Amino acid sequence: MTPITLFENPDPAPAVPGGPLCGTRVALQPTISVAGWPTDAGSAALAGFTALEDATVVQRLRQAGAALTGLTRTSEFGFGLHGSQAGEAVRLGAADAELVLDMMGECRVAAARAGAYGLTPSAGLVSRLGLIGLIPSMERCGLLARSCGTLHALLAALAGPDGRDLTLEEAPPPAPAPLPADARGVTLGVIPQALDGLPAAQAEGFRAALARLATAGVAVRELSLPEYDLFALVHAIVGSVEASSCAGRYDSVRYGRRPPGAKNWNEMYLSARGAAFGTCVKSFLIQGAFFQFERYAAYENACRIRARLVAAAQRLVAEVDALALPLPDRVPEDITAAPLAEICAPFGCTRLASVTGQPALAMPAAGACGALQLVGPRLGDARLLALGETLAAVCREGK
Amino acid sequence: MDFEAVIGLEIHVELNCATKLFCDCPNRPGDEPNANTCPTCLWLPGAAPCLSQAALEKAALLCLGLGAELQPLSAFDQKVYYYPDLPKGYQLSQAHLPLSRGGGITITNERGEARALRIHHIHMEEDVAKLVHELEGRQPISLVDFNRAGAPLVEIVTEPDFRTPHEAMEFLKALRTQVRYVGASECSMENGTMRVDANISVRPRGSSQMNTKVEVKNMNSVRHVGDAIAFEIARQSAAVQAGEAVVLHTRLWDPDKKATLPMRAKFEGPCVPDPSVPAIALTPAWIETLRARLPEMPAAKAERLVKEHGVSAEDAAFLSADTDVAAYFEALTAHGVSAKMALHWIATQVLPAVRERGQELSASPVTPARLAGLLTLLARDEINANAAREVLVALFQSEASAETIVSARGFRQISDTGALDALIDQVLAAQPAALADVRNGVGKATGFLIGQVMQASQGKANPKLIKELLAKRL
């Protein structure tokens, strides 16, 4: 165990030599099931729990010949980055890539923090079997690496139908539109509302990055989305209600610690769940329970608004090659028992893709401050990565 | 005050699929505890439910069999409640978008009138685990058996159309028949493959108001459902009469005390759409393909039996209550046996014989073809009814045809008048007293003489012919 790893694989050599990921060292979060490994999702609710079988993504990593290095420290259920070391293994060179659960942008912000690249694949592209998060309709297996090329190889190995996750698309993604030869053919869309309320330095960094790209010939178009604020609201309501319902399974009947002394089942639930969850997750679950039990109509409204937002974002992205959104490259470090609002603060601009299911790529920006986030059309992941590679070249020149 | 009851039923039917609803584990709840489990039906973290196509088809067939309309779009929700039989905190059920809406069954009420009882909707859901309460020394413990967890269920929710216990019982019997017809379940209340909850309220007769209802559970036979409803109607009527308010709650039927008793409520919340099971979209083409697999349903079959075979409505209902019985009957008539004889022999001989031997009618060694061979001999008067019953026993014991058995064991009836006359002579000579009685008009004596002739023929004489010949002599 090190400050960043929770569990080191004593035998990381791949069982399948010569695969496309041969020589790629991949670190995982304990939110991703590996048979026989302590998959506690960073929560006391799963203390001592060992996964019975590999997540589909783990099986596919093994089949592609990747070396699994171990488990990194995570926030509880991978929610937010408080207490998480996501991205550190790649930053420090201990791994070539990491899989990071992404429910509101964790993989992307972790990549930005590590100065690396992070892809949140389209919803329905990579199997979720074996992932242990809190928000099923939003969580995806994020990929984090030092280059778009590595992300591309990872995605090729992991994506595709899984007979055991029926939420996946069965048909292969549609053929991508031809790629521009270089940055001069690329058009990015910027949502002005996304910059409202952003810390001044971050907004400044984002504008500088766009200016650098514009200098290289990238066309930048302003695309207004007056309902932009609703992404955070929909995420807060729908996400927390799903979490509240799904986390019902952490009741200590089958696993997890069961505090002694309960006189009946109801007391057992209360004491076990009270002891199991950290402050942040508890706040999120209580928020969800409030909407589920006290304001159900608001939850239903949020679901309807979500459908509208998905359509709106898809329309916007169809007008350009990708949407460009700001991305913070640091998160507050020294907060202990941070309130929910503080934990969620760095994810202001990442929740759009979490709500819509679109693919989103985090990449280092050309400027001195902040990183860049590109959001593509759903299932346009391969083209988004290629686009990222083209723009990365421009950004590197700018450094 | 005169009260009438308003009753609605919620009926859980366990589908007889080979596997569970969301995983490939065998759907055999009776096996060694926790033998049939996997991460999905243990509801472990990270597991992903995969809806069984077979369960969907069976559930949809059941809906069509009950005249329900399959919905183009249905979906699963998370029905939240905390109880150790559900250690994931929610049950996957279709609360907002059920598999089908509408449908119903027409029954005959106490006054002999047809009553169309409507179904509100039918939805799919997963069963929960089973709790076994034991003592470990003096410490009470509860064990959880997950074999049943995730077993495929449908819930049939009726409209509050029922007014009497009789209507509820008739509905349940007809429902059981129809579900068995489509082959979706055995629907045994005794074995728990059909579970019925009744919602009951009372109101002054003639009123159209809907009053606070009470839910009654834990009835394990159709009879108990009737008893529990009757008890609850009486209890609520008395309460209202005494000026007490009926409060919404759940009661359990206690078959020993023959009473309903209040139970503790469990925590329940609103249902949230489940994000892990994709919505179910049914195309008209898929529905029509399935509809083509639907067998002829009991009401249609009964109607056809009346029309084609001239049996009474009551007999048609008896035959069509079980597809196997109806099929057996029709096979017999196809072999030329008269409807009347076929009906009589099935009801009085074959079914009791099959039941006694613990066989299924459809798998009985006495196939319709073999029985038809026997009944043809009987119809032609080649054997008499007593002999026929003995041949039936022989048909169960060997593979020989009725013809062979009759010949080998000499069951053929003596219809040769010469031979019978000789026997009659013999009997009349030996029984002068009886002969005198007959001539003096003692009725019983004729029967006695016929019996004597039968005995003399070792049971092979044609009784009708003896009677005729005897009449000529006397």
* Segment A340-359, tens digit of pLDDT: 888 898 999 999 999 999 99
Please name the residue that has the structure tokens 């069965």.
A170
Under an 8 A CB cutoff, do A247 and B89 touch? yes
Same domain, A167 and A34: yes
Residue B56's pLDDT band, with cuts at 50, 70 and 90, is: very high
Assess contact for A342 and A294: CB atoms under 8 A. Answer: no
Cα distances from A148 to residues A111, A355, A374, in angstroms, run 12, 24, 13
Which of B42, B53, B82 to mutate against chain A (most A CBs within 10 Å)?
Answer: B82
| CB interface of A with B, residues 88-147, below 8 Å | 128-132, 136-137
Task: Using alpha carbons, select from B299, B340, B338, B341 the residue that is nearest to residue B320.
Answer: B299
- In 3D space, the residue among B10, B8, B360, B12 whose CA is nearest the CA of residue B185 turns out to be B12
Write the residue in B50, B87, B272 that is nearest to A253 by C-beta.
B87
If DSSP codes are grouped into helix, strand and coil, which group holds residue B218? strand
- Between A200 and B69, whose confidence is greater? B69
Q: A161 near A169, Cβ under 8 Å?
A: yes
Q: Angle at which helices A148-158 and A56-63 pack, to 10 degrees?
A: 110
In the 3-class helix/strand/coil scheme, how is A154-165 assigned residue by residue? HHHHHECCECCE
- Picking from B453, B375, B462, B452, the residue whose alpha carbon sits closest to that of residue B414 is B462
Please report the pLDDT score of residue B471 as a whole number.
78
- Is the same domain home to A108 and A171? yes
Pairing, β B114-126 against β B152-158:
antiparallel
pLDDT digits (tens, 9 = 90+) for B169-210: 999 999 999 999 999 999 999 999 999 999 999 999 988 888
Of all helices (H) and strands (E), which one includes residue A273? helix A265-276
Q: Considering the domain boundaries, does residue A223 fall inside one?
A: no
For residue A251, give the nearest of B50, B87, B276 by CB distance. Answer: B87
**Does A56 share its domain with A149?**
yes
Among candidates A309, A314, A328, which has minimal Cα distance to A235?
A309
A294 with A332, same domain?
no
Question: pLDDT (tens digit, 9 = 90+) per residue, A64-86?
Answer: 999 999 999 999 999 999 889 99
Contact A389, A381 (CB under 8 A): no
Q: How many domains does chain A have?
A: 2
Please, is A257 exposed, middle or buried when counting C-beta atoms within 10 Å of its C-beta (0-12, 13-18, 19+)? Answer: middle
Do A150 and A251 share a domain, yes or no?
Answer: no
| A154 and A285 co-located in one domain | no
Structure tokens at A391: 């723009």
Residue that finishes a domain, picked among A249, A268, A303: A303
Give dist(CA B115, CA B250) in Å, integer: 28
Q: Is residue A383 part of a domain?
A: yes
Q: Are residues A59 and A168 in the same domain?
A: yes
- Residue A377's domain comprises 25-182+324-397
Confidence of residue B266 (pLDDT cuts 50, 70, 90): low
Mean predicted lDDT score pLDDT of chain B: 91
The predicted model gives B144-150 an average pLDDT of 96
Q: Higher model confidence: residue A3 or residue B122?
A: B122
DSSP string, A161-189: -BTTBTTS-SSPPPPPPPPPSSGGG-EEE
A349 in the same domain as A292: no
Residues B271/B95, Cβ–Cβ less than 8 Å:
yes
Asked if B39 contacts B47 with a C-beta cutoff of 8 angstroms, the reply is yes
**Are residues A291 and A347 located together in one domain of the fold?**
no
Res. B460: pLDDT tops 90 = no
List, in order of start, the domains of chain B with CATH numbers: 3-286 (no CATH), 298-409 (no CATH), 417-473 (1.10.10.410)
Select the residue of A166, A254, A299 nearest B87 (Cβ to Cβ): A254
Reported as type and span, the H/E element at residue A298 is helix A296-318
Residue A367 has pLDDT above 70, yes or no: no
Distance from CA of B200 to the nearest CA of A (A): 27
A196: closest CA among A220, A239, A227, A235? A227
Which residue from A minimizes the CA distance to B275?
A137
Q: pTM for the complete prediction?
A: 0.87
Instruction: Say if residue B1's pLDDT is above 80.
Output: no
Same domain, A38 and A108: yes
CA distance B178 to B168: 15
Residue pair A263/B108 in contact by the 8 Å Cβ criterion:
no
Q: What is the largest CA-CA distance in chain A?
A: 70
Which has the higher per-residue pLDDT, B423 or B31?
B31
**What is the band of A126 on the pLDDT scale with cuts at 50, 70, 90?**
very high
Residue A251 to residue B269, Cβ atoms within 8 A: no
Residue A299 sits in the same domain as residue A344: no
With cut-offs at 50, 70 and 90, classify the pLDDT of residue A366: low
Contact A248 B83 (CB under 8 A): no
Asked if residue A156 is part of any domain, the answer here is yes
Q: Please tell me which residue of chain B has the smallest CA distance to A167.
A: B278
| E strand or H helix at B468 | helix B463-473
Whether A164 sits inside 8 A of B84 (CB atoms) is no
Q: Give the type of residue at B430.
A: A
Instruction: Report if residue A141 sits inside a domain.
Output: yes
Q: Taking residues B354-373, what's their average pLDDT?
A: 92
- Rounded to whole angstroms, what are the CA distances from A253 to B80, B82, B429? 16, 11, 91
A174: amino acid identity, one letter:
P
Q: What local confidence, expressed as pLDDT, does residue A176 receive?
A: 80
Chain B environment of A163 (Cβ under 8 Å) = 50
Does A235 fall in a domain?
yes
Question: Does a structural domain hold residue A162?
Answer: yes
Give the residue from A331, A353, A369 showing the smallest Cα distance to A212: A369
Q: How many CB atoms sit inside 10 A of residue B440's CB?
A: 8
- Chain A partners within 8 Å of B275 (Cβ): 136-137, 167, 242
| Residues A1-35 as b or e (16 or more Cβ within 10 Å = b) | eeebbbbebeeeebeeeebebeebbbbbbbbbbbe
Tell me: do A263 and A335 sit in the same domain. no
pLDDT tier for residue A369 given thresholds of 50, 70 and 90? low
For residue A168 the two structure tokens come to: 């996946």
- ipTM value for the complex: 0.92
Q: Between A286 and A396, where is the model more confident? A: A286
